[in-house]
């Protein structure tokens, strides 16, 4: 107890509640809670829902489970969502650099997804999975090899292939790249006399432009498969699979998800929350 001027002051009892010695109750900002009775003293002004019976008890605290949940305002047990998210994804996902990249790229993702009329969450999800699983220091070297034309490697935040950019140009989804012919060297060695590949490679290094190509490619894949598989715009597992496998795969009525596509579908809700 704290005494001041013959008055009993409240004592901070944690993050959400304040206990007073005067009545033994816990003040929860909106209502008083009785630890002895394990219930609120007065009824919740918000009615419960029939699909969750515990909420019909307007005196209950934290869905009747104060050990697992907290209910700072006497409404929904708001920490339940966070705990379920941690249970589903784990710290490896939630604390990943890949998720931070999605937060940084969110504006680009929303903007270019709207431009191409595709689901921004699928755009963000494929970028997340690419970043989470694939990108490492080896790509710094292989990206350089990509511009030589010796290999067709993926580049940038969405791991877009140089050949994919060329294909999107040819199909009319993106403007043709402008370029000028020049020599390309690496570590003092001339590796190619290049032009288009260099320009495409340099564009893909820019985060905004890379996301632009990701959204364009997803739109392209939807168009290719829409006749045989009309529901494709709303299937992150299939679109994710095709994004990873490439447009060369012939469309049909019964596509199956790849491990990459399955992971895209798995993180969909997590990325949706980041982009909202």
Domain ranges of the chain: 2-77, 90-275
Phi, psi of 12 (to 5 degrees): -65, 125
CATH of 90-275, one of 1.10.10, 1.10.110, 1.10.530, 1.10.760: 1.10.530
* Burial class (CB within 10 angstroms; exposed 0-12, middle 13-18, buried 19+) of 267: buried
Confidence of residue 4 (pLDDT cuts 50, 70, 90): very low
Please determine, for residue 39, whether its predicted confidence score (pLDDT) is greater than 90. no
More confident residue, 140 or 263: 263
Contact 169, 177 (CB under 8 A): yes
The CA distance from 34 to 212, in Å, is 56
pLDDT tens-place string over residues 109-145: 999 999 999 999 999 999 999 999 874 434 444 555 5
Contact 33, 39 (CB under 8 A): yes
Confidence of residue 13 (pLDDT cuts 50, 70, 90): very low
The CA distance from 238 to 255, in Å, is 7
The CA distance from 187 to 167, in Å, is 30
């Amino acid at each position: 107890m704290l005494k001041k001027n013959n008055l009993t002051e409240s004592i901070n009892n944690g993050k959400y509640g304040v206990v007073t010695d005067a009545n033994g109750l816990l003040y929860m900002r909106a209502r008083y809670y009785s630890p002895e009775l394990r219930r609120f003293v007065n009824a919740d002004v918000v009615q419960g829902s029939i699909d969750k019976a515990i909420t019909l008890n307007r005196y209950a605290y934290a869905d009747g489970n104060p050990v697992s949940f907290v209910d700072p305002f006497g409404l929904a047990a708001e920490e339940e969502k966070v705990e379920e998210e941690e249970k589903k994804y784990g710290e490896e996902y939630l604390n990943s650099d890949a998720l931070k990249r999605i937060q940084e790229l969110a504006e680009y993702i929303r903007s270019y997804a709207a431009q191409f009329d595709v689901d921004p969450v699928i755009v963000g999800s494929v970028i997340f999975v690419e970043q989470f699983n694939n990108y490492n220091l080896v790509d710094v070297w292989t990206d350089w090899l990509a511009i030589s034309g010796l290999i067709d490697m993926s580049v940038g935040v969405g791991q877009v292939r140089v050949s994919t950019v060329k294909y999107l140009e040819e199909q009319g989804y993106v403007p043709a790249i402008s370029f000028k012919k020049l020599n390309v060297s690496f570590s003092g060695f001339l590796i190619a006399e290049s032009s288009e590949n260099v320009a495409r490679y340099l564009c893909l290094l820019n985060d905004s432009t890379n996301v632009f190509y990701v959204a364009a490619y997803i739109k392209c894949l939807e168009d290719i498969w829409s006749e045989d598989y009309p529901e494709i715009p709303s299937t992150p597992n299939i679109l994710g699979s095709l994004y990873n496998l490439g447009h060369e795969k012939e469309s049909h009525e019964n596509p199956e998800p790849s491990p990459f596509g399955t992971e895209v579908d798995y993180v969909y809700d997590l990325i949706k929350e980041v982009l909202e």
